[in-house]
Amino acid sequence: MKTFIVEKTASGGFTMGRAFVVNRNNLSADTYRIESKDADTEIAKYQKAVREATAQLEELAKTSDIFAAHFEMVQDPALYAGVTDKITSESQNAQLALENTTAEFAAIFDSMEDEYMKERGADVRDVRDRLMRSLKGITQNVLEGIHDKVILVAEDLSPSDTSNINLDFVLGFATELGGVTSHVSIIARNLELPALVGVKGLMEEVKSDDFLILDASNGKVILDPDEETIQKYKALEEEYRKHKKELEALSSLPATTLDGKTVKVYANVGNLEDVKKAVHRGIEGIGLFRSEFLYMKNTHFPTEEEQFEVYKQAAMLCPKELIIRTLDIGGDKSLPYYTFEPEENPFLGWRAIRISLDLEDVFKAQLRAILRASAFGKVKIMYPMIISLEELIKANTILNICKNELAAESIAFDPDIKVGIMVETPASVLCIENFAKHVDFFSIGTNDLTQYILAVDRGNKKIAKLYDSFHPAVVQSIQRIIDAGHKEGIEVGMCGEFAGDEKAAVLLLGLGLDEFSMSAGATANIKNIIRNTSYEKAKECAGKAVTAFTTQEVKDILSCFHN
């Protein structure tokens, strides 16, 4: 018996069964060099592979936004130029040229700190695999041969991999690579299957048909467990299944405390598919629509019409409100079609609202699209990374220009659309009382707020332990934001990861948070905690926590409440 331990869970739960190990050795590139006279032949091979991959992805794009992005990527002129240049200038055969070019592209994403952008390297590798299969004449993906229930074990799993699997046969996932925002993590959470990523040494030790226990809730993969361990986990699996069913029953119920206080529990989404899944779960509103993904998956700045269609459909799907965050790009989130100048400190640089205010035509196209969508549902606008009233006033001035244009064109929109800001910088916290007089709502972005307040780079492993939203400075900032908002009669929400942290739920409830917005999969659990908590007692607990001197003291106070 051997146990692998990882720190982060991609999707919780327990399962056990036989392993199916995905090996990609058959997709390794041939390494021979070519003579110059053969360059045209190799380029023709690559062109044929691109045509075949394009045809496949054109169909798959109808089923998922991920494949729509791959469809654009496989036709990327930069990719084509890189491959053909290696064929003509470096005498590489088409397979080797593809391998080396995509490795360079993937390395750019792999080096980024932002978890989402880092995972885009996996998309490049997926496109590479699709093209390589075509170059090698491989017509069937090995995963199509799965006909029994298995735990999938791989170095990584791509969208193309999972599109070829009958997911009814998958018990869970374990991969050596990937993070909590990787494709396999998202798939696992959507399907509510246990999954662990970043399991080092897995591929060396595990073989197909080995018996595994996947304890994703506690970050363990157990290889060849003994009978006592198997029986223990059978009981845990059954207990987890019962608890899950109980939580599912809460999905469409209101988040009302034992003493009658009701708060909103909404979902964070990045595309229409996410909206549909959230609504299917019984979630009534979207607390954060990350509009930047519309830009990041594209080959150009999306037009007003392209954005309008997406926002309109999202608004029509939402039973209650849809909060759209305007373009939040920069930092380490880039666009494939726009060149950002190198910056020493990109997280303190040209990003988010700063970009929108400088690229006014791009900003206007987005605002007009959002305004038009507001005729189809309860839509709100949220500006990211605001640090001054001047920025807010300038953004609203542009918004008013857009309103006047649409009115002159007799295009329908909500003239009273609500406008709010993300509170995610120390500057916005210190000026929060002033901001509260000029907006309709606040949404606290704890991911960046914690990073900036504590001066901790959350991507730096050496100091990652210092990044903690339970730090007294962060907790006191949250209280100040909520109090300032309520004093002016406006709602205060939270759309950072902290909102979905079950250990923080009582604290945030007690501080008076009006809206919790998180990944759709976390909503039922947070609702369950809220529905089993007294608001008055939560206020007492939060009152103690907000006066604590240390992070551990905050956690101890909350731990006592739960116990």
The active-site residue, picked from 318, 402, 495, 541, is 495
CATH code for the domain of 435: 3.20.20.60
Question: How distant, in Å, are the alpha carbons of 5, 112, 324, 345, 465 from that of 460?
Answer: 21, 11, 30, 14, 9
Residue 254 lies in a domain: no
Q: Where are the beta strands (DSSP E) in 369-437?
A: 378-383, 418-423
Question: How distant, in Å, are the alpha carbons of 115, 264, 533 from that of 480?
Answer: 29, 20, 23
Residue 413 lies in a domain: yes
Sign of the CA dihedral running 446, 447, 448, 453: positive
Report the C-alpha gap between 179 and 8 in whole angstroms: 8
- Model pLDDT, residue 140: 58
Cβ-contact 256, 39 below 8 angstroms? no
Instruction: State which H helix or E strand residue 212 sits in.
Output: strand 211-215
Report the C-alpha gap between 71 and 61 in whole angstroms: 7
Q: What are the backbone angles phi and psi of residue 55, rounded to the nearest 5°?
A: -65, -40
Residue 240 lies in a domain: no
User: Residues 220, 287: one domain?
Assistant: no
Cβ-contact 304, 362 below 8 angstroms? no
> What is the β-pairing status of strands 195-196 and 9-11?
antiparallel
Of 211, 227, 243, which one is at a domain's C-terminal end? 227
- Measured from the Cβ of residue 377, the count of other Cβ atoms closer than 10 Å reads 19
Domain count, the chain: 2
User: Residues 187, 325: one domain?
Assistant: no
- 312-346: pLDDT as tens digits: 999 999 989 999 999 998 876 777 788 778 777 77
- Model pLDDT, residue 412: 98
User: Residues 210, 266: one domain?
Assistant: no
User: Residues 404, 461: one domain?
Assistant: yes
Count Cβ atoms within 10 A of the Cβ of residue 131 and give its class: 0-12 exposed, 13-18 middle, 19 or more buried: buried
Of 180, 211, 227, which one is at a domain's C-terminal end? 227
Instruction: State the chain's maximal CA–CA distance in angstroms.
Output: 81
User: Residues 285, 172: one domain?
Assistant: no
- Model pLDDT, residue 152: 92
Report the C-alpha gap between 2 and 18 in whole angstroms: 15
| Catalytic-residue membership of 147 | no
Token code pair at residue 19: 């392993």
Cβ-contact 518, 499 below 8 angstroms? yes
Residue 243 lies in a domain: no
Residue 250 lies in a domain: no
Question: How distant, in Å, are the alpha carbons of 11, 34, 96, 285, 374 from that of 100?
Answer: 33, 15, 6, 45, 47
User: Residues 167, 275: one domain?
Assistant: no
User: Residues 192, 270: one domain?
Assistant: no
Of 227, 251, 280, which one is at a domain's C-terminal end? 227
Residue 269 lies in a domain: yes
User: Residues 263, 151: one domain?
Assistant: no
User: Residues 222, 263: one domain?
Assistant: no
CATH code for the domain of 136: 3.50.30.10
Cβ-contact 173, 195 below 8 angstroms? yes
User: Residues 323, 445: one domain?
Assistant: yes
Residue 79 lies in a domain: yes
Residue segments in the chain with a per-residue pLDDT below the cut of 70: 7-8, 24-26, 62-65, 113-119, 139-145, 163-164, 180-181, 190, 332, 458-461, 562-563
The active-site residue, picked from 70, 183, 402, 471, is 183
| Catalytic-residue membership of 300 | no
User: Residues 410, 463: one domain?
Assistant: yes
User: Residues 282, 209: one domain?
Assistant: no
For 173, residues 6+ apart whose C-beta sits below 8 A from its C-beta are: 10, 11, 151, 152, 154, 157, 184, 187, 188, 193, 194, 195, 196, 197
- 486-539: pLDDT as tens digits: 999 999 999 987 998 889 999 999 999 999 999 888 898 899 999 999 999 999
Residue 194 lies in a domain: yes
Token code pair at residue 83: 């491959």
Segments forming the whole domain that contains residue 23: 1-227
Report the C-alpha gap between 11 and 499 in whole angstroms: 17
Report the C-alpha gap between 481 and 473 in whole angstroms: 12
Per-residue HEC secondary structure of 436-474 comes to HCCCCEEEECHHHHHHHHHCCCCCCCCCHHHCCCCCHHH
Report the C-alpha gap between 152 and 18 in whole angstroms: 9
